Amino acid sequence: MATETEENYIKAIYKITEKNQGSANTNAIAQHLSTSPASVTDMLKRLSEKEYFHYEKYKGVYLTSKGIKMATNLVRKHRLWEVFLVDKLGFSWDEVHDLAEQLEHVDSDDLIKKLDDYLGNPKYDPHGDPIPNAEGKFTIRNQVSLQSLTKGEKGVVVGVREHDTPFLQYLNQQGISLGTEIKVLNHIDFDHSKNILIDNSSEKVLSQKACSNLFVKKSSS
Amino acid sequence: MATETEENYIKAIYKITEKNQGSANTNAIAQHLSTSPASVTDMLKRLSEKEYFHYEKYKGVYLTSKGIKMATNLVRKHRLWEVFLVDKLGFSWDEVHDLAEQLEHVDSDDLIKKLDDYLGNPKYDPHGDPIPNAEGKFTIRNQVSLQSLTKGEKGVVVGVREHDTPFLQYLNQQGISLGTEIKVLNHIDFDHSKNILIDNSSEKVLSQKACSNLFVKKSSS
DNA sequence: AAATATTTTTAGATTAGCTTAAAAATATTA
DNA sequence: TAATATTTTTAAGCTAATCTAAAAATATTT
């Protein structure tokens, strides 16, 4: 069994390589884990012997299939716990990350299987992120950034790109959550903000940044 | 925040002092935690500075109120998670101990509060052990060992003294669980075993050892 | 290509928690 | 009480994970 620290390294490498065309460098890992680059080098040397990833000095690392399997399993556990916390315990979507970060390290395949069934085998977590299945496969979905919708077009919110707490809380305030229907009333060229209609009732203005962080499923307009 | 190891030491000391008139010695702690007496001495020296217990060389330790608070909170968390695993996820009472042992270290008062509410503020865990409230208070119950029932007397199973897996699985086989009604048909003097009637339907023989490990609430016979 | 900046690694130390072996203290028995 | 047994502590050392400071390698700029 891997230690919690080891699991966190693998997950960090996975997250970074997701964005970074397949490889993660020392500094990025250090930043992601709030530790020093020296510690990371140290850890990479020791961990690479366990075959979770390939490591070449000064060249960064990339995960092996063993490492990917471990990482997706952690993602799976994290997201299932998030569903539990929101759907069953009544937490809000902006409160669950740190808790899931702890819970994901609990080690029991049986537990995860039972939890998954109990939650109704959800395919997406409370932020709209896909939950990989036991084999590590993600369910892909038809989605676009809200930014790409033009005047008159409509969509249903299905996810958020970044899910830092302030952004989620801002969405709460605006009355936007998963399932919210958004119609683009107007696009302001000047600053790329948008005038939108939320659930056919209230008008709001969303900045370019907010729009680019919202994923929607286009619906017929 | 205390580390997981620290929490395990405090809990071990608590469990031992519960049986051992208020103090725990080095060997007992070592055995309880499957570690060496030398490690325990080492740890006691370091931990006693954090005021969880009083430690005097060669004299063993006893918990301070700060330590007792921490221990009962761990017991609370452990037992609430056990209720969750059995009531919600469908685990059997003989499968939940090790999992709860992991889950009890998850750190969040808010989580425990919400979990408690979600479970309906249970007062007892799946083994019939009382769940301390947030202030560390246990709900006491009228109970006696099955051993003390005499011929003709009846009782309802409300708990088990030891809950090692083999014993619980044995009870499963015998069709005995919390809530089972037991009537003593006969007491065999020779080996102190008992002839019992389970839920008014099936007759069984229970050894002295089994009887002494079962708690019942006496009912009118 | 040389100079500068950035990134990564090495070196040397620290802390928590553990180990074994030996020494010291306490408890038990003859 | 002396001898023996048990318990506890000390001593020395290990591993995982971290740190800072310095050195080495790589990347960027002039």
> A155 and A213, same structural domain?
yes
CB neighbourhood size of A68 (10 A)? 18
Q: What is the mean pLDDT of residues A33-42?
A: 97
Kindly state whether residues B152 and B189 are assigned to the same domain: yes
A98 lies in the same domain as A78:
yes
**pLDDT tens digit sequence for B90-144:** 999 999 999 999 999 999 999 999 999 999 999 999 999 999 999 999 999 999 9
Is 80 exceeded by the pLDDT of residue A164? yes
Same domain flag for A134 and A77? yes
pLDDT at A221 over 70: no
CATH of the domain at B45: 1.10.10.10
Distance, CA of B122 to CA of B110 (rounded, Å): 17
Domain end point (choices B63, B97, B114): B63
Give how many domains chain B has, as a whole number: 3
A119 in contact with B, Cβ within 8 Å: no
Share of chain A above pLDDT 70, in %: 100
- Domain residue limits at B136: 70-140
The answer on B101 and B115 residing in a single domain is yes
Choosing among B106, B109, B115, which should be mutated to test the A contact, i.e. which has the most A CBs within 10 A?
A: B106
User: What is the 8-class DSSP label of residue A177?
Assistant: -
C-alpha to C-alpha distance for A89 and B113, rounded to whole angstroms: 10
pLDDT at A113 over 90: yes
**A150-153: Cβ within 8 A, 24+ apart:** A150/A184, A150/A187, A151/A184, A151/A185, A151/A186, A151/A187, A152/A183, A152/A184, A152/A221, A153/A183, A153/A184, A153/A218, A153/A221
Distance A42 CA to C10 C1' (A): 10
Average pLDDT over residues B158-175: 96
* Whether residue A150 is found in the same domain as residue A197: yes
Q: Which pLDDT does position A22 carry in this prediction?
A: 80
Looking at B63, B79, B107, the residue that finishes a domain is B63
For the record, the structure tokens of A3 come out as 């230690």
The answer to whether B106 contacts A107, with C-beta atoms less than 8 Å apart, is no
**Shared-domain flag, residues A152 and A215:** yes
- How would residue B221 be classed by pLDDT, with cut points 50, 70 and 90? low
Cβ of B26 near strand D (under 7 Å)? The reply is: yes
Band (pLDDT 50/70/90 cuts) for residue A141 is very high
Per-residue pLDDT, B154: 96
Average pLDDT score, chain A:
96
Residues of B in contact with A85 (CB under 8 A): 111
pLDDT value at residue B220: 79
- Which DSSP helix (H) or strand (E) runs through B73? helix B65-83
Whether the per-residue pLDDT at A99 is higher than 80: the answer is yes
Q: CB of A5 under 7 A from strand D?
A: yes
Q: What is the pLDDT of residues A126-135, one digit of tens each?
A: 999 999 999 9
- The per-residue pLDDT for B21 is 81
Q: Does A107 touch chain B (CB under 8 A)?
A: yes
Q: Are residues A83 and A150 in the same domain?
A: no
pLDDT at A1: 80
Do A148 and A211 belong to one domain?
A: yes
The residue behind tokens 């090692």 is: B164
Average pLDDT over residues A52-72: 96
| E strand or H helix at B160 | strand B154-160
Other C-beta atoms closer than 10 Å to the C-beta of A80 total 24
Please report the pLDDT score of residue B20 as a whole number: 83
> Is residue A109 domain-shared with residue A58, that is, in the same domain?
no
A21 — pLDDT class (breaks 50, 70, 90): confident
Mean residue pLDDT of chain B comes to 96
CATH code of the domain covering residue B212: 2.30.30.90
Q: What is the pLDDT of residue A20?
A: 83
Give the model's confidence band at B42: pLDDT under 50 very low, under 70 low, under 90 confident, else very high: very high
Query: Among residues B12, B43, B63, which one ends one of the domains?
Result: B63
B108 contacts chain A (CB < 8 A): yes
**Same domain, residue pair A151 and A166:** yes
User: Within this chain, do residues A135 and A150 fall inside the same structural domain, yes or no?
Assistant: no
